[in-house]
Structure 1
Amino acid sequence: MRKLIYGFGVSLDGYINDRDGNIDWTDPDDELHQFHNDRYREIEISLHGRRLYELMAQYWPHVPENAPRIEREFGQLWTEKPKVVFSRTLAEVDWNSTLVSENAVEEVRRLKTAGDGVMEVGGANLAASLMPHGLIDEYQLFLSPVVLGGGTPMFPLLDKRVTLRLAETRHFNTVVMLRYLAD
């Protein structure tokens, strides 16, 4: 069965963006960017919510030729990686993406049982729809030293707690990664 990872840059107070939707405080330095590039190579399928897909599609397929090598590399990785985009409003998706308009939970269950690799889920709302069903196997928080005071929370309100087990901590120059496994 495929493993599903939910990872995001997160503020100390638990937000993945600020009240205006900005994520500029998560810009990675070269060390962290290389880590993300290497990690992304290991991902078999990337699951995106609509907002994250639109944000990624605005930049990564169009990385300028004069951009740093590490950014050009991720742009190529992102455009080539198989993606499943969950949206009820998009009519089409590009860059090796498949659009799913209904029942994200059932589609993710199907994808998990269809192989034995690693998938990632991107987008707080999509992840929030999967958490109550126990579909997320690993959480990777890239904790930034900033307090935003509001924005989109990484974790939704839940009817019951999700128990996690700390599997790894890693210190980067700009963030601390906390990796947890679901029990």
Structure 2
Amino acid sequence: MGNVVYGMHASMDGFIEGPDGGFGFTEPAEDVHQAANDQVRRCGAFLFGRRLYEAMEKPWTEQLGQEGAPAVEREFARLYKETPRYVFSDTLQSVPDGVTIVRRKDAASVVERLKREVDGNLEIGGAELAGSLVDLIDEFLVYEFPVLVGGGKTYLPVESEVRLRLV
């Protein structure tokens, strides 16, 4: 049975992107990158919103992880490519092998099915996708970076109060 996990890098004031849309402040140190690799080993599938998918796909399948890159990056690229990826989008028309397009209207039913069928964590990537599926998320992770950016895209955009249970 899959466990839906939403984890994102964020500033200490709760933003995953700064006011200019940049997220360079989340560049991980090697030990943080190694922790991400360890997390991906427990991952049964990635569930991405379109924008995060586009930010991740090409770099990790074509550019990063190449000869000469740090070992931690090469390992992440290998793990990334081996993990099934689902991109939730109404605009994408095609994706490479290893990636499945899910239309937004089908999002909840697909995630519920994946929870039943996939062993390992179902890692949600993308604040808007997580906000739309908040009732299906089993675990929230915030990887806080020691920076204040003063505005931008929040870690989890929701329209009303959502009560959570601390575990």
| Unaligned runs of at least 5 residues, structure 2 | none
Question: Which residue matches 1:107?
Answer: 110
Q: How many Å separate the matches in 2 of 1:117 and 1:58?
A: 24
Question: Which residue matches 2:126?
Answer: 123
Percent of aligned positions that are identical: 41
Q: Is the 8 A contact 2:6 2:141 kept in 1?
A: yes
Shift of 1:160: 3.1
Q: Is the 8 A contact 2:7 2:125 kept in 1?
A: yes
Question: Which residue matches 1:146?
Answer: 147
Q: How many Å separate the matches in 2 of 1:148 and 1:29?
A: 19
What is the count of residue pairs matched by the alignment?
Answer: 164
Choose between structure 1 and 2: higher helix proportion.
2
* Structure 2 counterparts to residues 5-20 of structure 1, below 5 A: 5-20=5-20
Cα RMSD (Å) of the superposition?
A: 1.4
Q: How many Å separate the matches in 2 of 1:147 and 1:83?
A: 31
The answer on 1:68 being equivalent to 2:70 is yes
Q: How many Å separate the matches in 2 of 1:90 and 1:70?
A: 30
Q: How many Å separate the matches in 2 of 1:121 and 1:19?
A: 23
TM-score normalised over the length of structure 1: 0.84
Shift of 1:116: 4.4
Counterpart residue identity of residue 126, structure 2: G
Shift of 1:76: 1.2
Question: Which residue matches 1:33?
Answer: 33
- Worse overlay, 67-76 or 111-120: 111-120
Q: How many Å separate the matches in 2 of 1:95 and 1:53?
A: 14
Question: Which residue matches 1:50?
Answer: 50
Shift of 1:162: 2.3
| Secondary structure of 1:103 counterpart | helix
Q: How many Å separate the matches in 2 of 1:115 and 1:39?
A: 16
Which structure has the higher relative contact order (CA within 8 Å, separation 6+)? 2
